[in-house]
């Protein structure tokens, strides 16, 4: 059997058109990124985007090799975006090394994306604990069972790890938060709003944090 080969023409068949929205106006940002982000997030959910709070988190460590994965944003305010994970995972290690991250919300169904960059640091333990207590018990047990990013020989090994953690915590009313688990806040110093346009002439509006507030400008597509 020959190895499959994808030619440029194969990708051309995947091409779609854009143009759901009127032009994005720089004035829509009103000197701040958060109101428009919240509006777009809400609209993405109403239009059927599954888990609109899912974001592609980019990190890089001392090896200078970028790494991305999808995580769930669990908060957005003037201070930035929050998410939670195993701090000893690959992304946690890279965040400890560099202190910076990027995040992209790919709402492709509604022809929009938001890209965020900035310093990213751990939350206080009290803030992480407050969110931990809202998690389903099964997710709490899974956090104890998994040494995230470490290799596992088989599916059976994973299932065994979960079963052991479940048994160990069976008589515990409130599952404690592992030391290796917690939250992070990505504090934006750059936010870009992207919106699909006809003929690939897309809208791109960039917000840059300055000492006296946010500067907003249009970028060429």
pLDDT tens-digit profile of 103-148? 999 999 999 999 999 999 999 999 999 999 999 999 999 999 988 8
Q: What is the pLDDT of residue 105?
A: 98
Section 177-181 average pLDDT = 95
Which phi and psi angles does 27 have, rounded to 5°? -65, -20
How many folded domains does the chain comprise?
2
- The CATH number of the domain where 104 resides is what? 2.30.110.10
Q: Could you tell me if 80 and 166 lie in one domain?
A: no
Q: Could you tell me if 117 and 52 lie in one domain?
A: yes
Which residue range(s) make up the domain with 165? Answer: 137-173
Residue 184 lies in a domain: yes
pLDDT tens for each residue of 96-112: 999 999 999 999 999 99
Inter-residue contact 86 to 180 (CB < 8 Å): yes
Q: Could you tell me if 148 and 128 lie in one domain?
A: no
**Residues, the chain, total?**
221
- CA-CA-CA-CA dihedral for 35, 39, 45, 50, to nearest 10: -50
Q: Could you tell me if 191 and 169 lie in one domain?
A: no
Residue 1 has pLDDT above 70, yes or no: no
Residue 40 lies in a domain: yes
Active site residue 69: no
Q: Could you tell me if 106 and 208 lie in one domain?
A: yes
Which phi and psi angles does 135 have, rounded to 5°? -75, 150
For the chain, give me the number of helices (H) and strands (E)?
A: 6, 10
d(CA 195, CA 202): 6
Query: Please, which pLDDT band fits residue 153 given cuts at 50, 70 and 90?
Result: confident
Catalytic residue chosen out of the listed positions 46, 168, 200, 217: 200
Residue 1 lies in a domain: no
- Please give the model's pTM, rounded to 2 decimal places: 0.91
Lookup result for tokens 């994965």 = 69
Residue 8 lies in a domain: no
Q: Could you tell me if 65 and 148 lie in one domain?
A: no
Residue 9 lies in a domain: no
Mean pLDDT of the chain: 94
Kind and range of the H or E element at 216?
strand 213-219
């Amino acid at each position: 059997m020959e190895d499959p080969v994808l030619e440029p023409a194969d990708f051309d068949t995947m091409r779609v058109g854009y143009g759901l929205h009127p032009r994005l106006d720089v004035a829509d940002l009103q000197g701040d990124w958060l109101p428009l982000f919240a509006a777009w997030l809400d609209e993405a959910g109403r239009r059927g985007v599954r888990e609109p709070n899912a974001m592609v988190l980019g990190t890089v460590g001392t090896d200078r090799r970028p790494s991305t994965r999808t995580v769930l944003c669990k908060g957005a305010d003037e201070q930035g975006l929050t998410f939670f994970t195993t701090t000893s995972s690959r992304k946690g290690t890279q965040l400890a090394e560099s202190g910076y991250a990027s995040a992209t919300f790919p709402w492709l169904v509604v022809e929009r994306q938001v890209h965020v960059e900035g310093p990213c640091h751990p939350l206080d333990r009290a803030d992480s604990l407050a969110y931990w207590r809202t998690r389903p018990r099964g997710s709490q047990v899974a956090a104890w069972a998994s040494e995230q990013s470490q290799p596992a020989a088989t599916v059976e090994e994973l299932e065994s790890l979960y079963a052991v953690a479940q048994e160990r915590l069976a008589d515990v009313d409130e599952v404690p938060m592992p030391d290796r688990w917690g939250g992070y806040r990505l504090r934006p110093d750059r936010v870009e709003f992207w919106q699909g346009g006809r003929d690939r002439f897309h809208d791109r509006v960039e917000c840059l944090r300055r000492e006296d507030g946010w500067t907003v400008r249009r970028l060429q597509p």
